[in-house]
């Protein structure tokens, strides 16, 4: 990770403990610090109300599964990203956050709705034509064994990697459907990066997953 010097990041974490918000976000706070970022960590969504703070942040990394967010907090986040602050995250910490906040889902460009029971093995493959994108450059198809997210997505996102959904008795007719695994989008002047991977710290240690997350953070940075 080699961003321009003087970049700042805000890590916002909390919500359901089952996605290890402290352990997972600490991993990438350290990655960012090694890359030259000045990193601030927050365990309150009220950080999204602090316009003076956000004005000086180049990247927001969110790891906050479920929970609730106020309209004012969403508005503060949206305004910061629209003004150029990057926004990025992985798995439930970014797309299973604030399930009833549709204004938040407009920012992320997608929302988790289902996963098969337990862990399943599935292949993740870059989308043809995205071989030169900074997030997926040089990556080949790889296999993971973890939760497979079925997501509802915005048609305006730029999908970088996909998977074929497994046969799941709880979701009849979906077997073989191509589902996004990683994508980007623009929100005003800001960049947004999302991946559905990263259920637990061990999942983030998969080299290809770690590479996509690390590159996604860099790409989203102002």
The CATH number of residue 181's host domain is 3.40.50.880
Under the phi-then-psi rule, with left for phi > 0, alpha for psi from -120 to 50, and beta for the rest, what region is 7? beta
**Alpha carbon separation from 208 to 7, 142, 161, 195 (Å, rounded):** 25, 7, 11, 12
CA distance 212 to 77: 23
Residue 1 lies in a domain: no
Judge whether residue 19 has pLDDT over 60: yes
Provide mean pLDDT across the span 98-123.
97
Residue 2 lies in a domain: no
Residue 147 lies in a domain: yes
Judge whether residue 191 has pLDDT over 90: yes
pLDDT at 6: 85
pLDDT at 195: 98
Residue 100 lies in a domain: yes
Count Cβ atoms within 10 A of the Cβ of residue 107 and give its class: 0-12 exposed, 13-18 middle, 19 or more buried.
Answer: buried
Residue 128 lies in a domain: yes
Provide mean pLDDT across the span 6-33.
97
Q: What average pLDDT is seen over the chain?
A: 96
What pTM was estimated for this model as a whole? 0.97
Judge whether residue 3 has pLDDT over 60: no
Provide mean pLDDT across the span 37-51.
98
Collect all residues with Cβ–Cβ distance below 8 Å to 138 and sequence separation of at least 6.
Answer: none
CA distance 169 to 114: 12
Judge whether residue 1 has pLDDT over 80: no
Number of domains in the chain: 1
pLDDT at 86: 98
Domain that residue 134 falls in: 8-220
Residue 105 lies in a domain: yes
SS (H, E, C) 3-26: CCCCCEEEEEEEECHHHCHHHHHH
User: Six-digit token pair at 150?
Assistant: 């079925």
pLDDT at 219: 98
CA distance 147 to 203: 10
Residue 158 lies in a domain: yes
pLDDT at 2: 54
What percent of the chain stands above pLDDT 70?
98
Give SS3 for 218: helix
Residue 209 lies in a domain: yes
């Amino acid at each position: 990770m080699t961003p321009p010097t003087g970049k700042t990041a805000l890590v916002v974490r909390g919500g359901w403990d089952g996605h290890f918000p402290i352990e997972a976000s600490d991993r990438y706070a350290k990655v960012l610090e090694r890359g030259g970022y000045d990193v601030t960590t927050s365990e309150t969504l009220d950080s999204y109300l602090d316009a003076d703070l956000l004005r000086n942040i180049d990247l927001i990394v969110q790891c906050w599964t479920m929970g609730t967010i106020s309209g004012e907090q969403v508005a503060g986040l949206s305004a910061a990203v629209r003004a150029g602050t990057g926004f990025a995250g992985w798995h439930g910490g970014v797309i299973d956050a604030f399930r009833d906040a549709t204004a938040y889902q407009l920012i992320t460009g997608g929302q988790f709705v289902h996963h098969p029971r337990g862990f399943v093995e599935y292949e993740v493959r870059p989308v043809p034509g995205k071989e030169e994108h900074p997030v997926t450059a040089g990556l080949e198809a790889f296999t993971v064994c973890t939760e497979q997210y079925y997501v509802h997505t915005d048609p305006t996102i730029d999908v970088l990697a996909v998977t074929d959904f497994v046969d799941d008795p709880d979701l009849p007719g979906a077997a073989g459907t191509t589902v996004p695994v990683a994508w980007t989008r623009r929100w005003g002047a800001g960049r947004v990066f999302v991946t559905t991977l990263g259920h637990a710290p061990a999942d983030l240690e998969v080299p290809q997953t770690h590479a996509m997350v690390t590159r996604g953070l860099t790409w989203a940075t102002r």
